[in-house]
Structure 1
Amino acid sequence: MSYRSYVAIGDSFTEGLNDPLLADPPVVAGQVTRYRGWADRVAERLAEQEPGFAYANLAIRGKLIDQIVESQVPQAVEMRPDLISFCAGGNDLLRPGADPDRMAKKLASAVRTLRGSGAEVLLFTGMDPRDTPIMRVARGKFAIFFMHVRGIADLYGCRLVDIWSLQALRDWRAWSADRLHLNAEGHRIVAGKVLDVLGVPSDDWRMTWPAREKVDARLKRREDVQWVREHLAPWVGRRVRGTSSGDDLDPKRPGLTPLS
């Protein structure tokens, strides 16, 4: 199927953290690095097949599902694209008291609205958190929500990208130093899977990682301590303050414009 336009909505996963657009982004105080990510990679491939292909990415890091539904969904509907991708819920599920059933009802209502615009809708399960200590305790909630996502995809005739079973992402070499976001290689793998679901030939997601040497236990402990100091502590601090890394940020591609 050929798509002439595509709008991506969601949080940091769809914004593209941590896949810098530049191989060596400059370090400037107060500057927000522009990220590429799987959605940009998919759009680039789709643009090769359709002259004049237009793309918008409304995703902003840290957003909760209610915020995405309230702000990004109406914008996407107004643009009337051929294809809309919607991935959300991870930020909600990491918070105490998250209710996956309520979240699913919110998602279903939004998907009904998106499908009503005539667009093809792409939904996602998320990564199985069993290998991530901070997220493992909420694995049950993740599983319940993503089972709902599967049901919603079936009910409304959406295409589903199953990240939960994507084995290539089980290796830490697909993840950035914060252990919560994919790196460039991880985003490349996801883009390959998305393209495959859309019927565009791609085997990138079928890759297997070469064997690696066993990591020294002392080095691993030092890395864990560094991760707590540089990534976990700031994340917990934002939760306590009720702030988000995406506060005051605008979408990187707010308009549905041709992709050069």
Structure 2
Amino acid sequence: MQTIPTHTSLVAVGDSFTEGMSDLLPDGSYRGWADLLAARMAARTPGFRYANLAVRGKLIGQIVDEQVEVAAAMRADVVTLVGGLNDALRPKCDMGRVRGLLTEAVERLTPSCGQLVLMRSPGRRGPVLERFRPRMEELYACIDELAEKHGALVVDLYGAPSLGDPRLWDADRLHLTAEGHRRVAEAVWQALGYEPEDPEWRTPMAATLPPGWITRRVADARFARQHLLPWIGRRLTGRSSGDGRPPKRPELLPYADLDPVLPPDLELS
């Protein structure tokens, strides 16, 4: 008989991926995989507590400086840490520094929580990310090594065929859709030892006819105008979509007592 986990608290640390972009709700708030996971865990455990410290646009150094100590002090049963990919996707990136900061975060969080969860973040198929694949894979190799050394769980989203499908990514091509976030929540849920609710989350969606050449070019032009150019502009000026934005769930509170999340800024991280 399978033992049912009894986790009583969850703290999520990271950037826009963990904040929940682009899982947009009708009221203008973002949900995302961490909120979905917390809701499932809360349904199993009365008094379950949840905090989400993630803020869009944060680099791994900012995550270490602004979130790690706060999360460690909460001493939660489960802490999820996803960071470093924003660094790896920048034109200039010191991967040695990224690895060092990620190591610092893991070493600080591991003794302060019951279970640390790391992730190999998903990667959308397409030419834009191809130039960054070596950095991404270097980051994920570091994550695997840290997990083995410190007893953390690794959720391999990068290796899941379903999450490479462009249909599971928003128009900005950097953030998952609601269905993508649902699959990530399922992946973490299973990694924590809960009985699967969707055993086929890795299975790709049914094939459909690809859009025509004109439709793709129109979509590319819209993407460049609405998302890519503003993103480049922020990088050139040293700004971030998360500047001045507080976490949406800054305190470890009973899940039922949580306030609604903040309205989105609808910008790339």
Kindly state the Cα deviation for residue 127 of structure 1 after the two structures are TM-superposed: 2.3
Q: Name which of 33, 45, 60 aligns with 1:50.
A: 45
Give the alignment of 1:110-121 within 5 angstroms. Answer: 110-121=105-116
Verify the 8 A CA contact 1:101 1:145 in the aligned structure 2. no
Contact in 1 for aligned 2:72/2:113 (Cα 8 Å): no
| Corresponding residue of 1:195 | 189
Q: Alignment length, in residue pairs?
A: 250
Amino acid at match of 2:119: F
1:250 to 208, 222, 246: 246
- The percent of aligned pairs where both chains have the same amino acid is 43
Post-superposition Cα deviations, 1:121-152, rounded to whole Å, max 9, x if no partner, equal: 000112245x2333221111111111110110
* TM-score (ref. length: structure 2): 0.90
Distance 1:97 1:236 in 2: 13
Which residues in structure 2 correspond to 1:72-151 (within 5 Å)? 72-128=67-123, 131-151=125-145
Counterpart residue number, 2:58: 63
Q: CA deviation at 1:3?
A: 0.7
| 1:216-240 CA distance string (max 9 Å, x none) | 1111111111111111000001001
Structure 1 consecutive aligned stretches of length 4 or more whose deviation exceeds 6 Å: none
Q: Deviations over 1:192-212 (max 9, x none)?
A: 111111111222523431221
Q: What residue in structure 2 maps to residue 30 of structure 1?
A: none
Contact 1:108 1:152 in 2 (8 A): yes
What's the Cα RMSD here? 1.3
Unaligned runs of 5+ in 2: 257-269
State the Cα distance separating 1:49 from its structure 2 match: 1.2
Secondary structure of residue in 1 paired with 2:194: coil
Aligned residue for 1:7, secondary structure, equals: strand
Q: 1:5 aligns with which of 9, 16, 30?
A: 9
Contact 2:121 2:157 in 1 (8 A): yes
Unaligned runs of 5+ in 1: 26-32
- What is residue 159 of structure 2 aligned with on the other side? 165
SS of 2:190's partner is helix
